[in-house]
């Protein structure tokens, strides 16, 4: 089974095979996650899916915004098709990152899935008020984590029709 490509700007990149969608270029996913353990779980679960997306991992909110705006070291960054965003991030939290993205006319159409472990209903409500596309609770069990990622992939990368600028 093809492996997704993992791009990790804060650490040396790990090269993996990358498969394209039968109808086009590879799926680009931006994973904004400060926990390397959670990031590895996500990558492993994505490996088990039908697609082999190219995944870029960014570890803090400020770097995520720089990546999306192609600033500094991220000038050649690809535009993601999907953003998986942790709520609790250093330097700029998930709510702040979400607000910045949704207020930017060039970025606001990228679907954002907020990943969270233990948040209050108020935190979830705030995310929806800021126009997150959906919130997913991070399961603690490895098998449930893999199932959650498969469901994200099935809906957002197979069923939903995503806007890809020309």
The highest-confidence range among 50-54, 152-156, 162-166, by mean pLDDT, is 152-156
List the domains of the chain with CATH numbers: 5-159 (3.40.50.2300)
Q: Residue 143: what pLDDT?
A: 83
The residue among 81 and 12 whose pLDDT is bigger is 81
For 8-49, write each residue's pLDDT tens digit: 444 333 333 333 345 567 889 999 999 998 888 888 887 777
Residues 6+ apart with CB under 8 A from 24: 164
Predicted local distance difference test score (pLDDT) of residue 166: 61
* Residue 137: strand pairing partners: 116
Please report the pLDDT score of residue 107 as a whole number. Answer: 95
Query: HSE of 58 in the Cβ direction (CA atoms, 13 Å)?
Result: 28
Q: Over range 91-117, report the average pLDDT.
A: 93
Residue in the structure block whose two tokens are 């939290």: 93
- Residue 60 vs residue 160, higher pLDDT: 60
For the chain, state the CA radius of gyration. 15
106-161 confidence digits (pLDDT tens):
999 999 999 887 778 888 899 999 999 999 888 777 788 888 888 888 888 777 77
Give CA–CA dist 53/17, Å, rounded. 10
């Amino acid at each position: 089974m093809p492996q997704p490509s993992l791009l990790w700007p804060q650490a040396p990149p790990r090269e993996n095979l990358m498969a394209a969608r039968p109808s086009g270029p590879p799926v680009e996913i931006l994973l904004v996650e400060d926990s390397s353990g959670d990031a590895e779980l996500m990558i492993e679960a994505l490996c088990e899916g039908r697609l082999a997306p190219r995944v870029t991992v960014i570890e803090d909110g400020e770097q995520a915004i720089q990546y999306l705006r192609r600033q500094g070291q991220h000038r050649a960054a690809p535009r993601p098709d999907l953003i998986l965003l942790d709520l609790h991030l250093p330097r700029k939290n998930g709510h702040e990152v979400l607000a910045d993205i949704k207020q930017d006319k060039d970025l606001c159409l990228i679907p954002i899935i907020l990943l969270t472990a233990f948040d209050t209903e108020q935190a979830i409500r705030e995310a929806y008020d800021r126009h997150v596309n959906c919130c997913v609770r991070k399961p603690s069990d490895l098998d449930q984590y893999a199932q959650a990622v498969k469901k994200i992939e099935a809906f957002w990368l197979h069923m939903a029709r995503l806007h890809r600028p020309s």
